[in-house]
């Protein structure tokens, strides 16, 4: 199984195409401007000295490298002289300040400290993002200056960690370089990079010093050092670290045809999707440590759901599609993309959520002499002290084409529904749709004997104008070159959580197609917790041009005040029209209350 490159798939129109264009014209420049204001760009000059303002942080390299990667993808699609100048200027700085041995790191070049002695200072994490950016830029432009600089750096890391074993630690504190090394190998075919990636993967969880780094074995799961990776079956610890590790494990499983790594990846995916993922696709529910919690512990108002974790989950699922031909991975990609990732980006493309909660109650956001209670932010910000999420969006949106189609022999898989054109290796496929505004999908293809179209797990009814067999979540069709028409039933429906999710017992939420909906203060007032819905609700659907998706008007109820703080008797309900908007569009009209899960009064 292979996923097609973003260069082989062009998004033509529709909701995701609009998001892609917003990133290309607004967001990529907005992130660069904030990085310039905060000193991240200047830091690549490596001329900071004690007493200067804007001291470099040990993860600044990675913030800018992700931006460079996103810029590279955009440059592959269209000419932008200013964007190219900015990238080339950063490459100039890297070339000018790289050590003779190949080492490059802003922080350790200008700040006190010995290289490769502190496992938690993100050196290898930063290197990994630089490697990814270098590969992306070479693929986009054909120019390999940046790539050669990073190959020199990669060889130095191989020398220090594998040959000399002279570093102060064995495996990265924050995983990422592992998947980047596989990517570097795939582009250059230099097996040294694959060997180094395998070394970092196989050594994790095998060294007492790293296992006991936080004082006990129980805390080693923070950076997935508690067990050798082949023995890991539960997603634990820092969520972004975890999914980046799982990406690399899946990559190695594919490259080496390693059934042991594949088995671990399958179990880890099932644990995430079956026990630890929010209905929006968010993951990592705990603020403390930005971590996974226990199974089914999915609180709403204090949900962390870091944007990078959601994006990392998409990366992991994309890799799992190559190992296992079930539709479950595309289902999760769809869920997290339309909900828990796009919620991070404001409608104007200039500000971001780091965290993506499922409930906001402004009454809970108050301070006292002891400090404020800890809840996710009420509003998006243009940048953060740790600004990893904005450039991750920059590098995801230009490559959405990679998530739409896949190939296995003479069969083409249609995993996502986006108006797009695929051209590769004698295959030409055109998909036309207004999804997810409606469920009509038209496909015409040449050069493919079989088409396998995903039938989403949320969809109970669909029509298809061709004979088909349903297998592993896909409708398999013998392709005769004619137009294939699929229509998915997009009628809004109620969703209930597993009874073990304490926060959502006796609650329901509303979904239409892949889109999860929420109620906001601006439409429904401030007493959102009193709203009640039944699963047999009546609904009016109306397109909202400000959002680019449908809004819903639901016939529901509001619980009435009983005239006292505590009273006897049944709760009185009054009928109420409840307006719902896509969850991914919340908090674009100012700070205020928001709710995904409603009181369930179904009889």
Instruction: Identify whether 257 is part of a domain.
Output: no
| Shared-domain flag, residues 30 and 151 | yes
| 245's tokens | 């590790």
| One domain for residues 159 and 20 | yes
pLDDT for the residue numbered 232: 98
Same domain flag for 26 and 148: yes
The Cα 232–Cα 263 span in angstroms is: 10
182 and 55 both lie in a single domain? yes
Would residue 168 count as lying in a domain? yes
What single string gives the DSSP state of each residue in 290-309?
GB--STT---STT----HHH
Check residue 370 and give its pLDDT.
Answer: 66
478 with 582, same domain?
A: no
Q: 570 pLDDT band (50/70/90 cuts)?
A: confident
Q: Which pLDDT does position 375 carry in this prediction?
A: 84
Residue given tokens 């990609």 in the structure block:
333
Read off the tokens for 487: 């229509």
User: What does the pLDDT read at residue 288?
Assistant: 92
With the C-alpha atoms ordered 216, 218, 221, 222, is the resulting torsion angle positive or negative?
negative
pLDDT in tens, 535-558: 999 999 999 999 999 999 999 999
pLDDT at 386: 87
| Domain C-terminal end among 155, 187, 219 | 187
State yes or no: pLDDT of 369 exceeds 70: no
Q: What is the pLDDT of residue 385?
A: 86
260-299 core/surface letters (b: 16 or more CB in 10 A; e: else): ebbebbbebbebbbebbbbbbbbbbbbeebbbbbeebebb
541 and 587 within one domain: yes
The SS3 of residue 530 is helix
Are 116 and 27 contained in the same domain?
Answer: yes
Provide the pLDDT for residue 215. 85
Stretch 227-248: mean pLDDT, rounded? Answer: 98
- State whether 461 and 512 are in the same domain: no
Number of domains in the chain: 3
Mean of the per-residue pLDDT values for the chain? 96
Q: How confident is the model at residue 571 (pLDDT cuts 50, 70, 90)?
A: confident
> Torsion angle, CA of 330/331/333/337, rounded to 10 degrees?
140
- Quote the pLDDT of residue 585: 99
Check if the beta carbon of residue 3 is closer than 8 Å to that of residue 318. yes
Q: How confident is the model at residue 368 (pLDDT cuts 50, 70, 90)?
A: low
> Which of 440, 459, 488 corresponds to the end of one domain?
488
In a domain, 591, yes or no: yes
Mean pLDDT, residues 184-204: 99
Model-level pTM greater than 0.85?
A: yes
User: Does residue 360 lie in a domain region?
Assistant: no
Is 337 contained in some domain? no
- pLDDT for the residue 363: 87
Say whether pLDDT at 367 is over 80. Answer: no
Full domain range(s) for residue 458: 406-488
* Together in a domain, 425 and 545: no
Q: What is the per-residue pLDDT across 399-418, written as a single tens digit (0 to 9) for each?
A: 999 999 999 999 999 999 99
Would 214 be classed as within a structural domain?
A: no
Q: What CATH number is associated with residue 475? A: 2.60.420
Residue 217's pLDDT is 86
Q: What's the half-sphere exposure (Cβ side, CA atoms, 13 Å) at 259?
A: 0
User: Where a domain ends, among 488, 523, 552?
Assistant: 488
- Written as six digits, the tokens of 543 are 């397109």
* Angle formed at CA 512 by CA 511 and CA 516, multiple of 5 degrees: 40
Query: What is the SS3 assignment for 72-107?
Result: HHHHHHCCCHHHHHHHHHHHHHHHHHCCCCCCCCHH
For the residues of 1-59, what is the DSSP string, one character each?
-EEPPGGGEEEEESHHHHHHHHIIIIIHHHHHHHHHHTTTTGGGG----TT-SSPPPTT
Gap between the Cα atoms of 80 and 348, Å rounded: 21
pLDDT at 562 over 90: no
d(CA 298, CA 286) in angstroms, rounded, equals 9
Pairing of strands 598-600, 531-533: parallel
Q: Which residues of 78-116 are buried (b: 16+ CB within 10 A; e: fewer)?
A: eebeebbebbeebbebbeebbeeebbbbbbbbbbeeebb
Domain match, 417 and 523 both: no
Residue 383 lies in a domain: no
pLDDT tens for each residue of 257-276: 999 999 999 999 999 999 99
Alpha helices in 365-418 (DSSP H): 389-396
Q: Do 290 and 240 contact (CB within 8 A), yes or no? A: yes
Q: What percent of the chain has pLDDT over 70?
A: 99
23-26 long-range Cβ contacts below 8 angstroms, 24+ apart: 23/70, 23/74, 23/349, 23/393, 23/394, 23/397, 23/398, 24/74, 24/77, 24/78, 24/398, 25/349, 26/348, 26/349, 26/350
Return the pLDDT at 371: 66
In Å, how far are 51, 72, 393, 399, 503 from 396, measured between CA atoms?
A: 37, 12, 5, 6, 31
Residue 25 belongs to a domain = yes
Q: Are residues 481 and 546 in the same domain?
A: no
φ/ψ of 320, rounded to 5, equals -65, -30
* pLDDT tens profile 480-503: 999 999 999 999 999 999 999 999
**Predicted confidence (pLDDT) at residue 366 exceeds the cutoff of 80:** no
- Same domain? For 146 and 74 the reply is yes
What pLDDT score does 376 carry?
Answer: 87
**Residue 469 in tokens:** 């067999």
């Amino acid at each position: 199984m292979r996923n097609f490159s973003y260069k082989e798939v062009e998004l033509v129109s529709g909701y995701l195409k609009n998001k892609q264009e917003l990133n290309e014209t607004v967001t990529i420049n907005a992130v660069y401007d904030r990085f310039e204001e905060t000193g991240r760009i200047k830091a690549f000059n490596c001329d900071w000295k004690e007493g200067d303002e804007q001291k470099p942080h040990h993860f600044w390299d990675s913030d800018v490298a992700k931006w460079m990667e996103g810029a590279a993808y955009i440059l592959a699609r269209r000419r932008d002289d200013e964007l190219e100048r900015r990238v080339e200027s950063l490459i100039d700085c890297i070339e000018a300040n790289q050590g003779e041995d190949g080492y490059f790191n802003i922080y350790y070049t200008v700040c006190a400290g010995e290289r490769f002695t502190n496992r938690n200072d993100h050196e290898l994490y930063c290197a990994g993002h630089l490697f990814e950016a270098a590969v992306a830029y070479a693929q986009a432009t054909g120019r390999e200056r940046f790539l050669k600089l990073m190959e020199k750096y990669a060889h130095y890391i191989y020398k220090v960690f594998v040959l000399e074993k002279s570093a102060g630690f064995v495996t990265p504190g924050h995983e990422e370089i592992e998947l980047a090394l596989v990517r570097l190998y795939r582009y250059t075919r230099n097996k040294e990079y694959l060997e180094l990636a395998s070394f970092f993967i196989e050594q994790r969880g095998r060294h007492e010093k790293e296992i006991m780094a936080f004082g006990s074995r129980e805390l080693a799961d923070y950076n997935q050092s508690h067990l050798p990776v082949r023995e890991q079956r539960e997603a634990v610890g820092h969520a972004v670290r975890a999914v980046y590790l799982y990406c690399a494990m899946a990559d190695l499983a594919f490259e080496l045809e390693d059934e042991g790594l594949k088995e671990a990846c399958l179990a880890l995916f099932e644990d995430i999707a079956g026990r630890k993922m929010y209905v929006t696709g968010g993951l990592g529910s705990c603020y403390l440590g930005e971590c996974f919690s226990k199974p089914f512990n999915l609180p709403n108002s204090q949900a962390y759901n870091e944007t990078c974790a959601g994006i990392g989950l998409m990366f992991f699922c994309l890799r799992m599609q190559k190992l296992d031909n079930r539709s479950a991975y595309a289902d999760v990609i769809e869920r997290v993309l339309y909900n828990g990732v796009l919620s991070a980006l404001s409608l104007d493309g200039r500000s971001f959520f780091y965290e993506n909660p499922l409930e906001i109650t402004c009454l809970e956001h108050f301070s006292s002499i002891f400090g404020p209670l800890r809840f996710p932010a009420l509003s998006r910000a243009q940048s953060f002290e740790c600004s990893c999420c904005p450039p991750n969006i920059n590098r995801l949106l230009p490559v959405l084409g990679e998530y739409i189609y896949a190939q296995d022999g003479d069969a083409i898989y249609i995993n996502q529904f986006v108006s797009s054109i695929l051209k590769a290796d004698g295959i030409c496929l055109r998909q036309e749709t207004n999804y997810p505004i409606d469920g009509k999908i038209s496909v015409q293809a040449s050069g493919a004997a079989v088409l396998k179209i995903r039938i989403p797990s949320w969809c109970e009814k669909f029509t298809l104008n061709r004979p088909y067999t349903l297998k592993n979540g896909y409708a398999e069709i013998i392709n005769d070159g004619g137009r294939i028409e699929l229509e998915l039933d997009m009628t809004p429906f109620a969703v209930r959580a597993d009874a073990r999710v304490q926060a959502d017992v006796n609650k329901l939420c509303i979904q239409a197609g892949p889109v999860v909906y929420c109620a906001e203060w601006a439409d429904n007032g401030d007493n959102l917790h009193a709203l009640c819905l039944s699963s047999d609700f009546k609904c009016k659907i109306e397109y909202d041009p400000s959002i680019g998706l449908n809004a819903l008007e639901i016939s529901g109820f509001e619980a009435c005040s009983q005239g006292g703080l505590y009273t006897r008797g049944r709760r009185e309900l009054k009928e109420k029209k409840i307006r719902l908007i896509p969850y991914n569009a919340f908090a674009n009209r100012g700070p205020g209350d928001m709710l995904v899960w409603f009181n369930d009064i179904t009889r």
